[in-house]
A and B are shown apart, each in its own frame.
Chain A
Amino acid sequence: MSKFAKKKKGMPAISTASLPDIVFMLLFFFMVTTVMRETDPLIDVRVPTATEVQKLERKNLVSYIYVGKPKMKYRAKYGNTDKIQLNDKFADVSDIKSFILAERASKREEEIPYMTTSIKADEEANMGIISDIKIELRDINALKINYATHKGTDPRKELNN
């Protein structure tokens, strides 16, 4: 009897039985909100800021075209000029058509009119390459485009200061 009594005097262990529940709750939250990173950026992109930005809805219907200078570690191989990245590799302007067609083929037919092409271009990029992309997109009738920008302060205020 005395033995039992002694044991009870010690600090009771904190029950960790509900720990899995808490962790599972977090897990489900992240599972639901997660969007898998599909591409590895090969290009340094600092998108410009603008005030009139809109959120892109329906992310699964957005195809991304990255434009900018290759990251440092790729510069030796791919040079220092503006490049286009589609999916996981560097591409040429002429590859855009097949890229968009492949994107279209992977979507359901009724979703195709809602497909958007988001151009994520570095602010240092030249308009020449962007115009080439736009002409390609127009040729293939992918007319909804979006220039990726951060929501920023009014550029006029920055200029005034």
Chain B
Amino acid sequence: MARRDTPEINAGSMADIAFLLLIFFLVTTTMDVTTGISRKLPEKPPKDAPPPPKIKERNIFEVTINRNNMLFVEGSIMNVKDLRDAAKKFIDNGGGTITDGTEKNDCSYCEGDKDPNSSDNPSKAIISLQNDRGTSYKTYIAVQNELVAAYSEIRDRFSLKKYGRHFEELNADQQKVVKDAYPQIISEAEPNKS
């Protein structure tokens, strides 16, 4: 009988307290997802490192952006919108032949023009990106984006052909196969002083 006499706690203000906390979290919350272009910087070469091996001129795709945000590809002016196709053409060229040297040099899966003056195979094709200190970040990102897009379009095409599915839908092992077939090699030189 004594239990009945226990007074009920007034929970009417509970809502107010909860509201207060709710508004606090509403205000401090950031819902924005951070997105961006992921890149990996090259490791710092040790001081006594041997000089890098000579790379054949035809295996380098030279992209330069000058301080006026103009784009030079292989020595000639190019519009940013043409860069993706030019890069794809270069990566997928596959101009190497089996008889060229001791290592495997040809590319059986490439669909390019097999131009002997362009890259031998995708794992040897190097895109060299050089910018000026005065280049704007916007242009730089646009160029980076085009180069990454070139690789992802080629990888997607390859995975569709090999596995019948898009690159993102592949499992980790299959993605690795595709990535090995078309490794992303973008080398960035230190910018010109100006």
Contact = CB atoms under 8 A, between A and B. Distances in A.
B116 interface: no
A55 B43 contact: no
Interface stretch (A16-24, A93-101, A107-115): A16-24
A91 interface: no
A100 B18 CA distance: 39
B43 A138 contact: yes
Interface in A20-58: 20, 23-24, 26-27, 30-31, 33-37, 47-48, 50-56
Nearest to B193: A128
Contacts of A128: 133-134, 191
A24 B18 contact: yes
A33 B80 contact: no
Contacts of A50: 36-37, 141-142, 144-145
A150 B37 contact: no
A83 B100 CA distance: 51
Interface in B1-59: 11-12, 14-15, 18-19, 21-22, 25-26, 28-31, 33-44
A151 to B, nearest CB: 6
B22 A27 contact: yes
Most chain A CB inside 10 Å of its own CB: which residue of B11, B132, B145:
B145
A143 B37 contact: no
B34 A59 contact: yes
B93 interface: no
B29 A35 contact: yes
Contacts of A53: 35-37
B47 to A, nearest CB: 13
Contact of A124 (B11, B35, B37, B138): B138
Given A20-B14, A148-B34, A156-B80, A52 B190 contact: no
Given A23-B18, A130-B137, A137 B41 contact: yes
B105 interface: no
Contact of A150 (B15, B35, B133, B188): B35
Interface string B159-180: 0000000000000000000000
Interface of A: 16-17, 19-20, 23-24, 26-27, 30-31, 33-37, 47-48, 50-56, 59, 62, 67, 116, 118, 121-128, 130-131, 134-135, 137-139, 141-151, 155-156, 159-160
23 contacts: A20-B14, A23-B22, A30-B26, A31-B21, A33-B31, A50-B37, A52-B145, A67-B137, A118-B36, A123-B136, A126-B137, A127-B137, A130-B137, A131-B133, A134-B188, A137-B41, A141-B43, A145-B38, A145-B40, A146-B36, A147-B141, A155-B142, A160-B81
Given A48-B142, A50-B141, 7 more contacts: A23-B19, A27-B18, A48-B138, A52-B145, A118-B34, A131-B133, A148-B36
